[in-house]
Every structure is written in structure tokens, then in C-alpha cells.
Amino acid sequence: MLPLLLSLFADSLGSAETFADYKDTVSNPLVKLILFGLLWAFLHHFCAGIRFLLLDVHKGLDLASSRQSARLVLIVSLVLTVLIGVKLW
Amino acid sequence: MVKRIVVGAHYGLRDWIGQRVTAIVMALYSVYFGICALMLPEMSYEAWSGMFAGGFMRFFSFLFFMSLFYHAWVGVRDIFMDYIQPVGIRLTLHVIVMFLLIGYAGWAAQILWRL
């Protein structure tokens, strides 16, 4: 998926013409679906990463709070995906 | 007597720290990028490329991409070390991923400095 993202990024910054190509590509429903899937994956990794960094410094290490934070990661990343998804649609 | 360990890679700590430092760089960049993108008046070529025209944004974006590829390398290598046991296949996969990531790094640099 990295080549897809990099080529989209290249198009978006190349010139006004390639920017129009980029707009065309991302308005395709299938591409949109893939991008939202990737957005969710990224946001989940982002939230889970922050959780792991906190666990590294011994924050919330006990069973009850680590279960709770795991649930929180799932919820927050989904909410963020929906919010950004709605904003970008 | 010094206990010498003759097997293993011994780069565990370095990669562990590298993984976390790159994670923090990417997290900070993500927030910064999000704020900048939200402040764009419109999603036009002028506004979007203008966002990446500044020296700081270009540098930070490049740092993000470098962090991403190093972070991905640590992660993918760990997966291969865990799940791909035949040495030949593992080595081949490592080399392929390494060259891909180096290639992507060059590509990212080219995109950012062609503006």
C-alpha cells in the first residue's frame, strides 16, 4: 500500500494537472474505501502505540486498567476514523 | 569471568529505542500535519503545495518518512524473525524489504524537493 500512498502524494504535489489526476483517483469509491481502511489501521496503530509507550513507562500496567485502555484504543481509533472520514468524504 | 553470548543479534535495545523514537516523531508529525491540513482554507493545488513549500514542513515531512521506513523495517524484520524460520527465505525477504524501503525513501525525498 505504500507505493499507492506515495504515488498519490506525488500526484498531489506534482503540478496543477497531476493534482487534478489525484482528485480523480481519490474520488473513486473503491480507492476511497481502501484509503479509509488504511486510515483506520493508521489511527488504531497510533492509539495503540501511545498506549504501549505509556505501558513502557509503567502507566496503567495492572490488568484492570490495561484491559480498559485496550478497549479505549479500539473505541477512540474508530471514533477518530469516523470523524476524519466524514470530514474528508 | 565475563559471560560471552555468542549467539543472537545484540541489537535488541537499539531497535527497541529506535522503534519508540520514530514512533514519537511520527505521532508529533501526525498531529502537526492534521492541524496544518485543517487550517487550509480550501483543498486546492495552490493551498496544498503551499503547505509543503516551507522549509520546516519539508524537513519535518522528510523526517516523518524516514521514521516511517525505519519503524516499518523494525516491525517487518521482527515478524520475519518470528515466523519465517528457513534462513534462505528469511534473508531473501529481508533484502527485498530493505531495498523497497530504501527506494521509498528516495521517492519521498524526490516528491518533497521537486516542488
Query: Which string of DSSP letters, residue by residue, matches B44-88?
Result: -HHHHHHHTTSHHHHHHHHHHHHHHHHHHHHHHHHHHHHH--SHH
Q: Is residue B1 part of a domain?
A: no
Single-letter residue type at B22: T
Query: By residue range, what is the domain housing residue B97?
Result: 12-114
Task: Domain count for chain B, please give it.
Answer: 1
Q: Is residue B100 part of a domain?
A: yes
Q: Is residue B101 part of a domain?
A: yes
Q: In this predicted structure, what is the pLDDT of residue A89? A: 76
- Does the annotation flag B10 for ligand binding? no
Residues of A in contact with B49 (CB under 8 A): 13, 19
- Does the annotation flag B71 for ligand binding? yes
| Per CATH, domain A2-88 is 1.20.1300.10 | yes
State whether residue B48 sits within 8 Å of chain A by CB: yes
Torsion (CA) B17, B73, A76, A50 in degrees, nearest 10 = 0
This model of the complex carries an ipTM of 0.89
Q: Where are the domains of chain A?
A: 2-88
**What crossing angle do the helices spanning B55-83 and B12-38 adopt, rounded to 10°?**
140
Q: pTM value?
A: 0.89
Q: Is residue B7 part of a domain?
A: no
Q: In this predicted structure, what is the pLDDT of residue B1? A: 57
Q: Is residue B71 part of a domain?
A: yes
Q: Is residue B65 part of a domain?
A: yes
pLDDT band at A67 (very low <50, low <70, confident <90, very high): very high
Low-confidence residues in chain B, pLDDT < 50: none
pLDDT in tens, A18-56: 999 999 999 999 999 999 999 999 999 999 999 999 999
Q: Is residue B108 part of a domain?
A: yes
Which one, of A19, A11, A74, lies nearest residue B107 by Cα?
Answer: A11
Q: Is residue B104 part of a domain?
A: yes
Q: In this predicted structure, what is the pLDDT of residue A1? A: 86
The enclosing domain of B88 has a CATH number of: 1.20.1300.10
Q: In this predicted structure, what is the pLDDT of residue B65? A: 97
